Amino acid sequence: MKTLIINNGSSFIKKLTQLTKGKVKVVPYNKLNKIDIKQYDRLILSGGHKFPASSNNYSQEIKLIKNSKIPILGICLGFELICKAFGSKLGKLSKREKGILNIRLKNQQHKIKVYESHLYSIKNVKRPLQALAKSKYGIEIVKHKTKPIIGVQFHPEIKKGNGGYKILKDFLNKSTFK
């Protein structure tokens, strides 16, 4: 299994790389034009804090998300880029959300604890995305209805109190993700 991690400036990139099994290549978001995506079995879009997803700095990544045929997992900023690629609006929170947060999975009564560190939120998603989990700040998990694309607003690579860690492990342990 060959994984390409697109590094959007995440401070957790080392943890993410350590958790990924198989061959892993990490490439900065602004060097995507030098990579043959067809060589990889799956993509992980990391978090980041340099620019918001609404900036034009991620145009190559947005194009990749729209056209990819391989499984994609977007984390934090990667989640926001997935939402932006399919027409959802990004909103700025009044202050940075950082720490453990409870989220509610769609159609389930129980909550899971996840580690958050972000300043932006998505309140509504547009088709073909569907919301799978929410918190008091907005949507926390999205899935594409027909493509193997999932995004999480939190950081599943951080194990501390993190029920979202299972999502990352499932993505990394499966040859396909639907």
pLDDT tens per residue, range 40-66 = 999 999 999 888 898 889 999 999 999
Q: What is the pLDDT of residue 19?
A: 85
Sheet holding 42-45, edge to edge: 23-28, 2-7, 42-45, 72-75, 149-152, 138-144, 129-135, 91-105, 111-121
Assigned domain for 178 exists: no
DSSP helix/strand/coil, 135: strand
pLDDT tens per residue, range 94-105 = 988 888 888 998
Q: What is the pLDDT of residue 139?
A: 96
pLDDT tens per residue, range 126-160 = 999 999 999 999 999 999 999 999 999 999 998 76
Assigned domain for 20 exists: yes
pTM tops 0.75, yes or no:
yes
- 157 catalytic per annotation: yes
Query: Which domain does 162 fall in, by range?
Result: 2-173
Assigned domain for 21 exists: yes
Which structure tokens are listed for 15? Answer: 């943890």
Which is the catalytic residue, given 61, 76, 83, 116? 76
Q: Which CATH number fits the domain that encloses residue 19?
A: 3.40.50.880
Q: What is the pLDDT of residue 160?
A: 65
Number of domains in the chain: 1
